[in-house]
Each structure stands twice: as C-alpha cells, then as structure tokens.
Amino acid sequence: MLDARLIPRGTDGRTTRDLVDRRAMPRPRPAATLLAIHPDAAGDLVLPLTVRRADLRDHAGEVSLPGGALEAGEGHEAAALREACEEVGLDPGAVRIVGTLDDVWIPVSNFELRPFVGTLESAPALVRHDDEVAAIVELPLRGLWDPDVAGMDEFEVRGRRIRAGVYRIGGALVWGATAMTLGMLARVLEEADAASPAPRAS
C-alpha cells in the first residue's frame, strides 16, 4: 500500500495527482520495474538502482529502479526481467520473483508502473547499459529504515518547489515513484516481520 507521506507535494500541499485530471489523459502506458534483492560481497542484502542518463527523454538524470515500458504482446513480469537485463545486465534466469507491489501511476510521463520483487541467491555481476544508465548504485536493504538514508526533503523540480519522502544513497537523491515503491517494500517487509512467530525460549 502506497505511503502518502512519500508522495511529492508542492508548498501548497497539493500533489501532482491533484494538479492533473487523470480522466482527461490518455490511458497510461503499462510499465514494470524490478526490486532485485541480493547479498553483496559482505553478505548484506542490497538492491540495485540506476542513475539515468541526463539526455534521456523521460525522467532524465533521476535515480530509478531497473524497468521500463512493456513491449507489444509482453507481460509485466517479462518486461521487468527484460529491462533489468538490458539496463544492469541482470540474468533473468537467476531471479526468483516472490511477489508484486501496488501499481504506481506517474503523472508526468503517464506510466502505470507495476513493481516486482525478486531475489537472487548470490551477488550478480552488474553491468550498466551505456545508452540509458549513467551509474549503478546499490541500496542496502537496512537503509529503508535508516534515518540517515530515509527521510523528508525539500527541493526544486522543473521550477516547482516540492517536499517529498526521499532516500539518500551515496550523494544520490531518490524520490518520486522510486521512493514510493521503496516505501511499499519497507512496509511489506515490516508486516511480514511482525507476522512471523516469535522464537520460543529454550
């Protein structure tokens, strides 16, 4: 479930969704993304994010999860795996899809994004796709709850001052749909942890 605190808002409190009449827009383009959780060299769980090239048409320079639009006749899961392979060299055969999160509508580009959660048994050899990806950064999973990583920030986007939930990773600022998706993952993991039976005392 989407955490409303992570949705970007202007100084007047309105979100992009408040400023756009979705009913008057064309049908959103279906897209998919992958949260590929895997151990790093030290054994800590991480997931890869991409810094998009500054000259791309959509979401230039932003930090995002590997993903993109569906191709003709393609399903969401297949698109998530294909895009992760194309953008960061992730082998689809090494990924075990364990679930999905809620769809996220992105008003500025009119994408309807479906996030897939996948796991890998070992650290993959990631290779960025030069045409789309400027850099790959890895978010430690524990950073989802670290106040030095996750928090609120105020900044300017396209001439509009906004306040949004963000994640800070190695100098990169993660916000918008990616931050909202990470927030959903954090909530799902918290709920799963709370539902786990407590270990019995010996």
Q: Give me the CATH topology for the region 4-194.
A: Nucleoside Triphosphate Pyrophosphohydrolase (3.90.79)
Query: With bands split at pLDDT 50, 70 and 90, how would you rate the model's confidence at 6?
Result: low
Distance CA 66, CA 150 (A): 20
Distance CA 87, CA 37 (A): 16
Confidence (pTM): 0.85
Choice between 128 and 13, residue whose per-residue pLDDT is larger: 128
Q: pLDDT digits over 58-114, tens only?
A: 555 688 899 999 999 999 999 999 999 999 999 999 999 999 999 998 887 889 999
Q: pLDDT digits over 131-143, tens only?
A: 778 889 999 999 9
Residue 114 CA neighbour count, 13 Å, CB half: 17
pLDDT of residue 202: 44
Domain ranges of the chain: 4-194
Return the DSSP state at 196.
S
In this predicted structure, the answer to whether residue 148 has a pLDDT above a threshold of 80 is: yes
pLDDT of residue 160: 76
Distance CA 128, CA 121 (A): 21
User: Is the C-alpha dihedral spanning 198, 143, 115, 162 positive or negative?
Assistant: positive
Distance CA 115, CA 184 (A): 10
- Note the Cα 158 to chain centre separation in Å: 21
- Mean pLDDT calculated for residue range 39-61: 80
